[in-house]
Each structure stands twice: as C-alpha cells, then as structure tokens.
Amino acid sequence: MGKFVITKRANGEFQFNLKAGNGQTILTSEGYSSKAGCTNGIESVKKNATDDNRYDRKTSSNGKPYFNLTATNGQIIGSSEMYESIASRDNGIESVKSNAPSADVDDQS
C-alpha cells in the first residue's frame, strides 16, 4: 500500500512524495509555503489520481519520458521521475492510480 510522505525542504517549504508499497517514489509535489497547502495538494492527488485525463504524458529535453498529474484547473499537483521508456512511465501512472486514492499520510516535517 502506498503512502504520502510530507517533508520540509531546506528553504522551509513543505512537499510530499507519493511512495508505492515498495518504497519507491512515484510522484513528487511542488513546494508549498504552508503545511495546509501541502495537505490540500495530497487531497487533490487522491481526488484526481484515477482520472486518466489528468495525466500529462511528456518527454524531457533529453528524451526521457515522464508525467505530470494535473488538477481540474490544469495546475500541476505532482510530477514523476524520469523514466527509461514509455512503458515504464505508463507503469508509473498505473501505480499512482492504484496507490494514491487510499494512501496514508506520513508527516515527517
């Protein structure tokens, strides 16, 4: 089972990582100025994770596939790592879809 891990960056911002059951990070948030904003971001991921239309499949300038998860307003709420193949990226999306909706929150900030 996946979990959201909230941490505090060196600059004081809060962020979350969604980790799969095996501990691998599958989605990383932007920085938030408040913990409440970070928590709202987690709720947005949970709400949008199962909607395939919320995933923006991209390729980086060095040719590596990745994805962004967007809210209904188009704002990016989480980004993936860079993957070695499109198939791996698509597996990452499926992992977010299956892990995010029921993931617990581990506040380490």
Q: What is the pLDDT of residue 85?
A: 97
Residue 101: is its pLDDT beyond 90? Answer: yes
Please, where are the H alpha helices in the chain? 35-48, 86-99
Residue 35 makes CB contacts below 8 A (sequence gap 6+) with 6, 14, 107, 109
* Domains delineated in the chain: 3-107 (2.30.29.80)
Confidence at 1, pLDDT banded by 50, 70, 90: confident
- The pTM (predicted TM-score) of the whole model is 0.93
3-8 and 104-107 strand pairing? parallel
Angle at 78 between CA 77 and CA 83, to 5 degrees: 155
